[in-house]
Amino acid sequence: MNAGVYQRRSVGDEDAVSQEVVREMRSAVNAGVLSLVIEQPSYGGEIGRRFEERYDGLLSSRPQHIYKALDELRGQGLVEPIELDDGGRLGQPVRGYRATGAGARAYRRWLRSPIQVGSRARHEVMVRLASTRPDDRHTAAFLLDAYEHAVLTLARNHPVRSDNVIDRLIDEERRTLADAQLRWIARARDELRTDSVEHGP
């Protein structure tokens, strides 16, 4: 049973680990940029384009945010500059970035760090899932477990109010959302299982 993920550490320990990793990564945009550079060394413009495709609706993809993230990641030693072929457009190498060993380790730590239960859990899970390699089903399963834990905790703690119709309608909307989230998680696990059968563990 997979309950152990949440039972091995106390809540205080999880918070400390989570905050430490978040401090290291500084922002979700930085983490997203790092994951794209790990996936494929790229130059700024291309990273921006891929970022927009990957994190559409989840993270801001303004160019200044992408370049700021690259500067910070470089300052932390998580990415380093390299010369890349520009694909024959100008026939000249362009300055791009690739991840360092420290960057690859920081990325893995960030992906698997505990997710705090709260209203931001969905966003955190989705950003990390979008940053997960398609063949990394273990991380995807970990994120689904963490997401489910967050949804169940919120649903369980949600106060039941029967005082008036407006309160009940608002509660109903939140509960309907939680139901949809649990159904999505169950379907996502089905997909991972099927993918595992088709492509091997």
Partner 1 sequence: MTLLRLDGVSKRFGRGGREQTALRDVQLQVAAGELVAVWGRRRSGRTTLLQVAAGVERPSDGSVRFGGVDLARRSMLGRPGGLAYVSTHFVRVIGETVLEHVGAPVLGGNASTSRAQSLAFAALRGVGAVDCADAGVDGLDQAELIRVAIARALVTQPRLLVLDEPTQDLRLARDRDQALELLRSLARRDGIAMLMTVAEAADLAGADRALTIDQGELRGLTQPAMGQVVELRRSRS
Q: Which of 87, 162, 198, 201 binds partner 1 (CB under 8 A)?
A: 162
Q: In what order do the strands lie in the sheet with 42-43?
A: 42-43, 93-99, 79-85
φ, ψ of residue 98 to 5 degrees: the values are -135, 160
By CB under 8 A, tell whether 168 contacts partner 1: yes
By CB under 8 A, tell whether 138 contacts partner 1: no
Candidates 21-29, 50-58, 67-75, 142-150 — which segment interacts with partner 1 by CB under 8 A? 142-150
In which residue are the tokens 């563990």 written? 201
Length of the chain: 201
In which residue are the tokens 């088709």 written? 198
By CB under 8 A, tell whether 166 contacts partner 1: no
Q: Which of 155, 184, 192, 195 binds partner 1 (CB under 8 A)?
A: 155
Q: What's the token pair of residue 188? A: 């996502």
φ, ψ of residue 83 to 5 degrees: the values are -95, 130
By CB under 8 A, tell whether 178 contacts partner 1: yes
End-to-end CA distance of the chain: 18
Give the residue from 112, 144, 113 showing the smallest Cα distance to 126: 144
By CB under 8 A, tell whether 137 contacts partner 1: no
Q: What number of other Cβ atoms are within 10 A of residue 51's Cβ?
A: 24
- Taking every pair of Cα atoms in the chain, the longest distance, rounded to a whole number of angstroms, is 71
Q: Which of 85, 183, 194, 199 binds partner 1 (CB under 8 A)?
A: 183
Question: Minimum CB separation from partner 1 for residue 71, in Å?
Answer: 41
Nearer to partner 1, 69 or 150 (CB): 150
By CB under 8 A, tell whether 184 contacts partner 1: no
By CB under 8 A, tell whether 194 contacts partner 1: no
Q: How far is CA 39 from CA 108, 131, 153, 162, in A?
A: 13, 9, 34, 50
Nearer to partner 1, 22 or 177 (CB): 177
* Residues touching partner 1, count (CB under 8 A): 33
φ, ψ of residue 131 to 5 degrees: the values are -95, 0
Q: Which of 56, 161, 191, 194 binds partner 1 (CB under 8 A)?
A: 161
Q: Which of 90, 160, 166, 197 binds partner 1 (CB under 8 A)?
A: 160
Residues forming the site for partner 1 (CB under 8 A):
1-3, 6-7, 145, 148-149, 151-153, 155-162, 168, 171-172, 175-176, 178-179, 181-183, 185-186, 189, 193
